[in-house]
Structure 1
């Protein structure tokens, strides 16, 4: 009998390589001959059978392999805004225009042969973009060509396209004279866009989510809740019991969950009274390393947490942070779904094949997550979290500029403390360390992990000004 459920057939001497392969496919989703590195595809293919079994058993994911790429098909439990596509050069999140151009470019490539010039591709893209209200494409409009270049760079980086002649930069400077010729890898293009359901069959974005069928038994609900708990923990930095329904909270408390994820990824799982965290001790299993050398935004976010911790630990000033009940995550997600559905096109849906999953309010109480007897046994209630008003946050950023000197915050931010504060709070919200609400923020429990973050700052420089930088060896989290 196997001692472990995960990596059951992997030898102990190969376990480290298996865990590296698991982290690679979970982080990147698509592995090709060139992305994310020249050796990544061979490593993942070496353990493809074991990974396919474990990913299906633990998360319900499907691993598709071929000689030239490996693709992980995830199942979504909820939408969130933390998993963005990033530009290759600047590592900034794709905006809506870049996302739209990327989808249209992939559609154009699907109808093309083995190679295409950038000029011909744009000739196909322009009418498709101009047919969409408020999108459009005009090479003379600032930002349109840059968005095309960023989308093309993203495809080149993943091996879907290969530049055989010319330059995209030449085209961006002068689209009448410059051009580039691309070889198309249709297999990779297909792997990059694989929705779980045909989009033309959906009348709501809710249809993209993994929604258990109504009427399933208690044991099946518990298995699905455990699977959902593993999925959320692998996708997010931290999970809070107060954000979970009763059955998922019970699954998060099971020792087997931590054992399975640790054996799969090689990363430790930390348990606290408020929730559970998968800790990235490698520093490479995340798209948002914190703390670290991530620029002024990353470091300012850490310093803000330190200032908030000082307030909370000072008896004389702690009263300035009142405790407020956190918002209902289920209601927040329902509101998000409604906003997404408002943007769905009114035409193009195949009504005969349309898939309209039931709204959560239409499901019976026995079928709702956490309903019935389980809710009574493991019920959770909204946590009361410290509230930091926006005015106090602006006071903190002003104090940081006075303490470290404006020039410590780089040329981009030295005259814009308000903009830096906004970006730092967005990072902390993505990491689930704070929750932004009107008028300020709610400080979530995991933020206390970084209360001593200023201890890693070096000593002041000779001129008395503190350099805003961390030590070379950052503490991964």
Structure 2
């Protein structure tokens, strides 16, 4: 009988149910009986003990379950935008104002009892927001009430608040006479905001990141590197060997990683010479679907990749393309941390209890010898596509499909659509923005035949291509 380290006690006939529960927790982090869909919690609780053990051993994550919710607490090796918050109605990512309001609202709810009026909540929120420079709250200021509505809707969607009377829209239209009454789920509110360390003890945002173990044996360091490798595959669209340290790169190449993650998630691992990725063959384990049915941004991104592939494969053009050294992810991460730390309110730091911030970096080197590991790759280079070429490509797409194919929002704004499509491709680690253009990353070649799915042109010469579907939803 075959024994497995993952889902060790799960019968073969029940493995699909277990994997679905694991994917659900990884995708949403918080699961209740109504979020992300009715009855979701019932699919997780039967596997709570097995999932908790596997999350801890595989990824170093902590799964906490109660009869009312399940909460997955992650450990971060680097800062990135993959765990953003999005508005329920517009599906747009939360901006800084909304994120700040969300934290302040949760703090206010923590001091409340079992229910609260929206007007009372805002009265409590206002003085705290007004003490923060450049934040504040003014019901007459553009966007302030909209931000509060988005935060309240986000909490209602997850079950932390339950509307019992009134409406946020009534309050938004007339904040003096409109109101709404909410029941508060205090345990869920506490679960939603659960940092790994007290924020008052941090002198840098880097203190929230995992650090390599020190003063331990080689086996412990290898286990840590293996966890870091599995976290990278789970959390990122693709992992490039050249972007990792030697011990993590070695762990990424191990057959045990493929076996463990495949059994844990039910998904497929795809390897290439440059890296590794977890392929979502279910169509549901992702916050950014690509490629596939979607709005103008998603499909334009795919068409741009096709044009870039044609350019690279054209013997007459390929020789003229420049290649530049790929940016160092460690250096870029240092810059990101420095930018975030500029806004850190040091006046609130408890100096006596402050943790010393670790050296920032998405893959800090693990102490010890690496003589028997894969050595670091030489500096990688990537093809540069200049901004002028990208402008030509989007103009060709508008001419080929017709401006009306790109929805009312984008039909007169090709530059804006190009910017959003490139942003999507960068989020997926398929390209990298640099001054004057973009660098093409290796995984982009996976989509070089993406136009094979396009329909044939109609009699007027334009493709009957429907860009009118709603934009892809994000978490």
Class of the TM-score when normalised by the shorter of the 2 chains:
over 0.9
> 1:245–1:370: 8 Å Cα contact kept in structure 2?
no
Aligned to 1:52: 52
Alpha-carbon distance in structure 1 between the residues aligned to 2:378 and 2:153? 46
Alpha-carbon distance in structure 1 between the residues aligned to 2:420 and 2:369? 42
> 1:246–1:375: 8 Å Cα contact kept in structure 2?
no
Aligned to 2:30: 30
Which of 431, 436, 445 is the matching residue for 1:439?
A: 436
Alpha-carbon distance in structure 1 between the residues aligned to 2:127 and 2:465? 48
The CA deviation string for residues 316-369 of structure 1, in whole angstroms up to 9 with x for no partner, is 0112321211011111111111111111002111111111134269xxxxx933
Alpha-carbon distance in structure 2 between the residues aligned to 1:351 and 1:369? 28
The CA deviation string for residues 242-299 of structure 1, in whole angstroms up to 9 with x for no partner, is 1111110000000110110000000010111010010000111010000122210000
TM-score, scaled to structure 2 = 0.95
> 2:55–2:61: 8 Å Cα contact kept in structure 1?
yes
> 1:241–1:275: 8 Å Cα contact kept in structure 2?
yes
- Which 4+ residue blocks in structure 1 deviate beyond 6 angstroms? none
Alignment map for 1:233-382 (pairs within 5 Å): 233-359=233-359, 368-369=365-366, 372-374=369-371, 377-382=374-379
Which of 402, 420, 429 is the matching residue for 2:426?
A: 429
TM-score, scaled to structure 1 = 0.95
The CA deviation string for residues 211-244 of structure 1, in whole angstroms up to 9 with x for no partner, is 1233333222211111000001101111011111
Are 1:404 and 2:380 an aligned pair? no
Return closer, same or farther for 1:178/1:320 CA change in 2, 3 Å cut-off: farther
Q: Secondary structure at the match of 2:348?
A: coil
> 1:2–1:8: 8 Å Cα contact kept in structure 2?
no
> 2:55–2:63: 8 Å Cα contact kept in structure 1?
yes
What is the alpha-carbon root mean square deviation over aligned residues? 1.8
Which residues of structure 1 form unaligned runs of 5+? 362-366, 473-477
Alpha-carbon distance in structure 2 between the residues aligned to 1:54 and 1:19? 11
Alpha-carbon distance in structure 1 between the residues aligned to 2:61 and 2:374? 30
Q: Secondary structure at the match of 2:319?
A: helix
The CA deviation string for residues 149-168 of structure 1, in whole angstroms up to 9 with x for no partner, is 11111100000000000111
The CA deviation string for residues 160-188 of structure 1, in whole angstroms up to 9 with x for no partner, is 00000011111111112211110000011
The CA deviation string for residues 11-58 of structure 1, in whole angstroms up to 9 with x for no partner, is 111000000000000100011121011121011101001100111010
> 1:118–1:179: 8 Å Cα contact kept in structure 2?
yes
Are 1:132 and 2:132 an aligned pair? yes
Which residues of structure 2 form unaligned runs of 5+? 470-475
User: Which one is further off, 105-114 or 208-217?
Assistant: 208-217
> 1:299–1:469: 8 Å Cα contact kept in structure 2?
no
> 1:229–1:252: 8 Å Cα contact kept in structure 2?
yes
Following superposition, the deviation at residue 371 of structure 1 comes to 6.3
> 1:457–1:469: 8 Å Cα contact kept in structure 2?
no
Aligned to 1:74: 74
Q: Secondary structure at the match of 1:181?
A: strand
Q: Secondary structure at the match of 1:465?
A: coil
Alignment map for 1:112-151 (pairs within 5 Å): 112-151=112-151
Count, aligned residues? 468
Following superposition, the deviation at residue 306 of structure 1 comes to 0.3
Alpha-carbon distance in structure 2 between the residues aligned to 1:371 and 1:379? 15
> 1:293–1:470: 8 Å Cα contact kept in structure 2?
no
Q: Secondary structure at the match of 1:347?
A: helix
Alpha-carbon distance in structure 1 between the residues aligned to 2:307 and 2:368? 40
Are 1:449 and 2:446 an aligned pair? yes
Alpha-carbon distance in structure 1 between the residues aligned to 2:216 and 2:396? 56
User: Which one is further off, 452-461 or 434-443?
Assistant: 452-461
Are 1:394 and 2:391 an aligned pair? yes
Following superposition, the deviation at residue 468 of structure 1 comes to 3.1
Alpha-carbon distance in structure 2 between the residues aligned to 1:462 and 1:146? 47
Aligned to 1:469: 466
Alignment map for 1:113-192 (pairs within 5 Å): 113-192=113-192
Aligned to 1:384: 381
Alpha-carbon distance in structure 2 between the residues aligned to 1:77 and 1:165? 43
Return closer, same or farther for 1:448/1:469 CA change in 2, 3 Å cut-off: farther
Are 1:211 and 2:206 an aligned pair? no
User: Which one is further off, 83-92 or 184-193?
Assistant: 83-92
Aligned to 1:5: 5
Q: Secondary structure at the match of 2:124?
A: helix
Alpha-carbon distance in structure 2 between the residues aligned to 1:52 and 1:295? 37
> 2:161–2:185: 8 Å Cα contact kept in structure 1?
yes
Aligned to 2:102: 102
Return closer, same or farther for 1:339/1:375 CA change in 2, 3 Å cut-off: farther
